[in-house]
Amino acid sequence: MQTHHAYIGFGSNLGNRLENCRNALEALAALPECSLLKTSSFYETAPMGLVEQPSFINGVALLESADDAHWLLRRMLAIETALGRIRTLKWGPRSIDLDLLFFDDLIIDSPGLSIPHPFLHERRFVLEPLNEIAPDFHHPTLGKTVAELLDDLQDGHQRVEVLST
């Protein structure tokens, strides 16, 4: 059986943020034919886009899956719904957010799914935890490692602080 490696970003800024993230990780680990291989530290991060909202807890997980990217995305959306995610405002507050960042080194551009995640290289709150668990992973379209993408980031204002949990 062929397995795939998926990097999944997670975040929460409503309710008990740490508990929401932990519950999402438990739900990912419980998916059939999946194994949670690595999880970054939790990071407290400033919101982007709509900045008048609470700070986020963010991180990245590495999941091994026997199923394809579309199957995994459907399961991730179901986990968000089960954990109380209500989509009202783009970049608004949320109880949980799960983003499929990479799926092996595949490039997928289909309705509802773009891999690699189209904005991950612009987001310190994704690159910091991703760099913690996969600094040498090569972005399949940009041709740089995660560590290089982090070094190249020109944000200057994104607050990202590792939490001791």
Active site residues: 85, 94, 97, 99
Q: 69-82 and 17-29 helices cross at what angle (nearest 10)?
A: 140
**Token pair in block for residue 30:** 């419980």
Is the peptide bond prior to 93 cis by the omega test (within 30 degrees of 0)? no
Is the peptide bond prior to 116 cis by the omega test (within 30 degrees of 0)? yes
- For 91: left if phi > 0, alpha if psi spans -120 to 50, otherwise beta; the answer is left
Give every CB contact of residue 58 below 8 A, 6+ residues apart in sequence.
Answer: 9, 10, 11, 42, 43, 44, 45, 125, 126, 129, 160
Give the DSSP letter of residue 135. T
